[in-house]
Amino acid sequence: MKLYTVKLLTITCEILAQKNIIEILKKHEITGYTTYEVDGNGARGLRGQGLQTEKNVKVEVIMREEKLQDVVEEISRTLFANFAIVLYVSDVGVVRTEKF
Amino acid sequence: MDILQLISSNLLTPIILFFLFGIIAARIKSDLKIPEAISEFLPIYLLAAIGLHGGIEMRNTGFENMLIPMLVAIGLSLLFTLNHYQILRRLGKFNIFDSYALASTYGAVGAVTFSVGLSFLKNQGVTSEGYLAAILAVLEPVAFIMAIFLTNMAVSKQIRQKKESVSKDDTSDLDMGIQETKTKLSQVLHDSITGKAIVILLGSIVIGYIIGEDGFSSIRIVFDEMFTGAIVIFMIEMGIIAGQRLDDIKKVGIFLTAFAIIMPTFNGIIGVLVATAMGLSLGGAVMFGLLLASASFIAAPAVLRHSIPQANPSLYITSALGITFPYNIIVLLPIMFAISTIVHNGEGSIDLFHYITKDWI
């Protein structure tokens, strides 16, 4: 089986930033992503307790390397200052590279 | 009427006791927790019950009397929001974003506070005008929209000043900024009008109006008799969340703590007096005051995080939920009730004003 290397962008952020992230992805013509609700602890304290709006989500997006730079740049520029957010990139192998 | 006695008897109602119990449970780090689905469901239920009641009342009494109180409420809410902003910015030295976010949090209304108020009145055997539910719905987005508009104006003004100092002819970025402000505002307007709180509230008002007392009798057990019980369950949750935030109150600072107590008192008492002057009933005046006194803590974060992300959410959530909400339901509600009782049993001058406004309608 041949695996093609693409990038996995993982963003853990407060749930209210999710919409902004999805919008940025859309702007860069990325429509596929996975989100799930998570909780944890970080610079802005224990997250995921209390009000619904204070939860965290994890957004996972697989994309080609060409788009990665721009997406990461825009997320850092627009969201890093004001939201609880952590972002990292890893290499993953996929079978059907044409999907991404 | 002895205010202290009213406060202490209010303190011993199930709603307040369960709220305090929730705080204690959080403080002793109990794992007590209302399941998520239920705490998400309860606000919807409460708003549906408020809306149904309002709709039925409006069918009985008609809603031609509603227009003036509604416009006055909107006017006062906007005025208070501006007033909050000036106080926070000038006296409190908060930055522009925090000032606007806090100003609108306190200018907006709290649906949970409203429910507690209704059940307080029920406990006292007093009714209130049904159209207040409609005012609750209309008032919900008003303060936010203005604060967001003003914040964006202030930001684009700053951008413009920067631009002018750099180059005189390049205005493309500015135009883009104004365009962005417009889309942001229409987005907020759309989001808040189609938001679940307003949709369920307005929907229930309409349904209540259609079904009337007769249709309501078949669902009375759920939407009337269970109302206070449901608030009690929700109060456990509110108590837990407030309790978890008690430590944050220290971070909020003395100024904001004082603001979170003094402003609602001022706004609420003005609300009671204005409502009385407009001819609202004893209970109606209390609810009108409560609308203006309450701060939003469920809708506020969702709206403000998007529209004014620069503002620190823990400031406005903690002060609204940790300080103002308990103060409103424990202390201010009985105070407003006492004031409303006094002004309703008193002078004829208020009645005179009522006759004048009646002629307008």
A→B interface, C-beta within 8 Å: 14, 16-17, 19-20, 49-54, 81-83
Residue B21 amino acid letter: F
CA atoms within 13 A on the CB side of B51: 21
A7 three-state secondary structure: strand
A82–B317: do the CB atoms touch at under 8 Å? Answer: no
* Amino acid B333: pLDDT: 94
pLDDT, one tens digit per residue, over B243-301 is 988 888 888 889 999 999 999 999 999 999 999 999 999 999 999 999 999 999 888 88
In this prediction, residue B118 carries a pLDDT of 93
Query: At B245, which helix (H) or strand (E)?
Result: none
Residue B358 scores a pLDDT above 60: no
Q: How far apart are CA A85 and CA A62, in angstroms?
A: 18
* DSSP one-letter code for A5: E
B9 in a structural domain: no
**Domain encompassing residue B238:** 15-23+35-360
Here the CATH number for the domain that contains residue B114 is 1.20.1530
pLDDT value of position B359: 47
In this prediction, residue B179 has a pLDDT band, given cuts at 50, 70 and 90, of: low
Q: Domain count of chain A? A: 1
CB contact at 8 A, B294 and B96 = no
For residue A36, what pLDDT is reported? 93
Distance CA B47, CA B231 (A): 11
Residue at B204 is within a domain: yes
Q: Which of the residues B41, B245, B305 would you substitute to probe the A interface, choosing the one with the greatest number of A C-beta atoms within 10 Å?
A: B305
Question: What region, left, alpha or beta, does residue A58 occupy, with left being phi > 0 and alpha being psi -120 to 50 degrees?
Answer: beta
Mean per-residue pLDDT over chain B, rounded: 87
Say if the Cβ atoms of A83 and B310 lie within 8 Å: no
Portion of chain A with pLDDT greater than 70, in percent: 100
What is the pLDDT, as a whole number, of residue B352? 43
A20: which chain B residues are within 8 Å (Cβ-Cβ)? 306
Highest mean pLDDT (candidates B4-8, B122-126, B167-171, B232-236): B232-236
- Cβ-Cβ contacts under 8 Å between A and B: the total is 33
Residue B2 within any structural domain of the chain: no
Judge: B298–A51 Cβ closer than 8 Å, yes or no: yes
ipTM: 0.77
Q: Answer whether A30's CB lies under 8 Å from A61's CB.
A: yes
B318 occurs within a structural domain: yes
Q: Which of B39, B244, B302 sits opposite A53 (nearest CB)?
A: B302
Q: Can you give the pLDDT at residue B250?
A: 85
B76-135 pLDDT, tens digit per residue, is: 999 999 999 999 999 999 999 999 999 999 999 989 999 999 999 998 999 898 899 999
The pLDDT value recorded for residue B356 is 44
Asked if the Cβ–Cβ distance from A51 to B310 is below 8 Å, we say: no
Q: What residues in A contact B317, CB-CB < 8 Å? A: 51, 54
Q: How confident is the model at residue B350 (pLDDT cuts 50, 70, 90)?
A: very low
| A53/chain B closest Cα distance in angstroms | 6
What pLDDT is attached to residue B73?
94
Instruction: Let me know: does B132 contact B284? Beta carbons within 8 Å.
Output: yes
The alpha carbon of residue B347 is apart from the nearest alpha carbon of chain A, in Å, by: 45
C-alpha B18/C-alpha B77 separation (Å) is 30
Residue A65: CATH number of its domain: 3.30.70.120
Domain count, chain B: 1
**Euclidean distance between CA atoms B79 and A74, whole angstroms:** 38
Structural domain including A43 reads 4-99
Query: Tokens 């929700």 correspond to what residue?
Result: B234
Rounded Cα distance, B290 and B221, in Å? 26
